[in-house]
Chain A
Amino acid sequence: MPDISPANNVVRFESVGLRYGQGPEILQDITLSLATGAFYFLTGPSGAGKSSLLSLMYLAQRPSRGVLTLFGQDVSLTRRQMLPAIRRRVGVVFQEFWLLDHLSTLDNVALPLRVAGVREEEIMKHVPELLAWVGLAHYLHAKPSTLSGGQKQRVAIARAVISRPDLLLADEPTGNVDDRIAMRLLHLFIELNKLGTTVVIATHNERLVRRFNFPRMHLENGRLTLYAPYQDPAVPDEI
């Protein structure tokens, strides 16, 4: 059985179900716990509910049933005013990037720091540094509409990691970049993970999953199965 004890868990699902409106359950009886410093791939066919599972973790959705605990707090019992504090500990990379088109690259990446009230001097020191690291040093003032898909992806990743989140969620983060950039981004996630960030990467990229020695959560028909690294999906192995 997966470890669902509260201690040391960043994320804990207990029999969580999710449905939109009166529709069928997209996610059924999800029970899992992610410890501090864990690194997971999240796989599954399109429409299996990967994005929905992630959306529960970044609090864009509330479970229809079950208990979801983030950083030790039951989200259904947490007052709405307290949710931003939890969200600030979560970095998210979206499949569609969700960059703000009217803001520059620099301002997009600075967003999590600005909403947290970080001083402008700090922002102006750290954001260009990170953008240089992801190869966008010359695009600080470019608007997202002028960037390629891969560049947008890197901006989105930089925005997700700029505040050194405790939990990093990425939905197909390497979908729009070539292998070289994909590896570089994966190494960035691994570096963050080494510093204690729990990482969940939703991906279709089987090669990526096989190349890195991390456990995997597999979603199929709304149900989650956990696999040890390098295991064949046909042979589940409890983690």
Chain B
Amino acid sequence: MFKRRSDLPFDNDATSHFLPTIVAVMVFLAVLATTGAMVIQDILERWHRDVSGTVTVQVGALASDSLAEVQQRVDAAITVLQNTPGIAAARPLDQREIADLLEPWLGSTELVADLPLPRLIDVTLRKGATVDMNALTQRLAETVPATSLNDHQVWLSKLVRLGRGLEVLALSVVAMVIATTAVAVAHATHSALAIHHSVIEVLHIVGAHDDYIARQFAHLSLIQGLRGGFWGLMLAVPVLGIIGWLASHLESGLLPAFVVRPFHLVSLGLLPLGMAGLAQLTARITVHRTLARMP
């Protein structure tokens, strides 16, 4: 693949397996970390999209309330909500929906049905409308006792913070992988320069520019980087498949399902190419720097 005439005998190098192996491992880690970052970003976006523009009103059951009385209080809260400018819809969740929401934490819906649960009203805000949440909370409390309003911002901001932290962690891993690859390539190139010192001396004497020599090292690193990158990606694909399969078997509702988009596939496909390009560039710079110290 991409075989090109070289004046340097790279084929017999002891380091010829080192670089592809290092790049394969680095690409494997980079693919996992990048996928992690993309999944987190996707989940954050969807959480944000799902809850922005919605609030939840919770109508608590008083000890003395009968079912009919609870329903009356829910209706009263809905009336207040419907009369509030900026609110597009207010829909009470039935017992079944509430039980489904609690299932991941509390188990079977039969058990949940026996608990004295508050009623929930899903409120959708009109697009672009600004609703004074404090005033609405106060009006609801005055009209319907034991109600509370949750605009999701508290838990969402905590989750977003956690998500952003994980995202930064994943991207730090990618950055570390890039830096490690560059260092490994520089080290391998230094070794190869030492091994081929006499050949380089002859090339210099017959009038070779530093770049003539550097291009040969860079080409070798590109090929080895592509080879390593390919195997790293091939190794990462089944691992991602297994992780995806395990995630899909988690209790539904804990995490939204990750949707693979063409952008994600292109990004992952570009990683080995990018790493090979990095190897090529690092080798070229390393050779130039080393040769600059020669007479």
- A residues near B (Cβ < 8 Å) are 58-62, 80-81, 84-85, 87-88, 92, 98, 100-103, 107, 111-112, 114-116, 159
What chain B residues lie within 8 Å of A112 (beta carbons)? 206-207
Complex Cα distance, B205 from A98, in Å, reads: 10
Complex Cα distance, B109 from A62, in Å, reads: 88
Are the C-beta atoms of A92 and B205 separated by less than 8 Å? yes
Complex Cα distance, B7 from A84, in Å, reads: 17
28 pairs across A/B with beta carbons < 8 Å? A58-B205, A59-B205, A60-B201, A62-B295, A80-B292, A81-B209, A81-B210, A84-B204, A84-B207, A84-B209, A87-B204, A87-B205, A88-B206, A98-B198, A98-B205, A100-B7, A100-B199, A101-B9, A102-B12, A103-B7, A111-B7, A111-B203, A111-B206, A114-B7, A115-B206, A115-B208, A115-B212, A116-B207
Closest to A85 in B: B207
CB of B74 to closest CB in A, whole Å: 83
CB of B202 within 8 Å of the partner chain: yes
CB of A140 to closest CB in B, whole Å: 16
Given contacts A87-B206, A88-B207, A115-B209, 9 further A-B contacts (CB under 8 A): A58-B205, A59-B205, A59-B295, A60-B201, A62-B295, A84-B208, A87-B204, A87-B205, A100-B202
Are the C-beta atoms of B295 and A60 separated by less than 8 Å? yes
Chain B residues numbered 192-223 whose CB sits less than 8 Å from any CB in chain A: 198-199, 201-210, 212
Main secondary structure on chain B at its contact with chain A? helix
Output the residue of A92, A103, A159 with the most chain B CB within 10 A: A103
Complex Cα distance, B242 from A154, in Å, reads: 64
Question: Count of A-B contacts with CB under 8 A?
Answer: 54
CB of B278 to closest CB in A, whole Å: 26
Complex Cα distance, B295 from A112, in Å, reads: 19
Output the residue of B9, B205, B208 with the most chain A CB within 10 A: B205
CB of B212 to closest CB in A, whole Å: 6
Closest to B6 in A: A102
What chain A residues lie within 8 Å of B9 (beta carbons)? 100-102
Chain B residues numbered 1-25 whose CB sits less than 8 Å from any CB in chain A: 7, 9, 11-12
Closest to A92 in B: B205
Complex Cα distance, B12 from A107, in Å, reads: 18
CB of B209 to closest CB in A, whole Å: 5
Complex Cα distance, B295 from A58, in Å, reads: 11
Complex Cα distance, B8 from A107, in Å, reads: 12
CB of B284 to closest CB in A, whole Å: 15
What chain B residues lie within 8 Å of A88 (beta carbons)? 206-207
Are the C-beta atoms of A60 and B205 separated by less than 8 Å? yes
Complex Cα distance, B257 from A135, in Å, reads: 76
Given contacts A103-B7, A111-B7, A114-B7, contact A98 B202 (CB under 8 A): yes
Chain B residues numbered 88-127 whose CB sits less than 8 Å from any CB in chain A: none
Closest to B208 in A: A115
Complex Cα distance, B11 from A98, in Å, reads: 20
Output the residue of B199, B204, B206, B208 with the most chain A CB within 10 A: B206
Complex Cα distance, B292 from A85, in Å, reads: 16
Closest to A59 in B: B295
What chain B residues lie within 8 Å of A81 (beta carbons)? 209-210
Closest to A88 in B: B207
Other-chain contact of A159, B206, B292, B295 (Cβ < 8 Å):
B206
Are the C-beta atoms of A61 and B199 separated by less than 8 Å? no
What chain A residues lie within 8 Å of B209 (beta carbons)? 81, 84, 115
What chain A residues lie within 8 Å of B203 (beta carbons)? 111, 115
Complex Cα distance, B203 from A159, in Å, reads: 12
What chain A residues lie within 8 Å of B208 (beta carbons)? 84, 115
Interface string of B277-295 (1 = CB under 8 A from A): 0000000000000001001
Output the residue of B12, B202, B203 with the most chain A CB within 10 A: B202
CB of A69 to closest CB in B, whole Å: 16
Complex Cα distance, B196 from A100, in Å, reads: 10
Of all A-B residue pairs in the complex, the 5 with the closest CB atoms, nearest first, are A88-B207, A102-B9, A115-B208, A87-B207, A112-B206
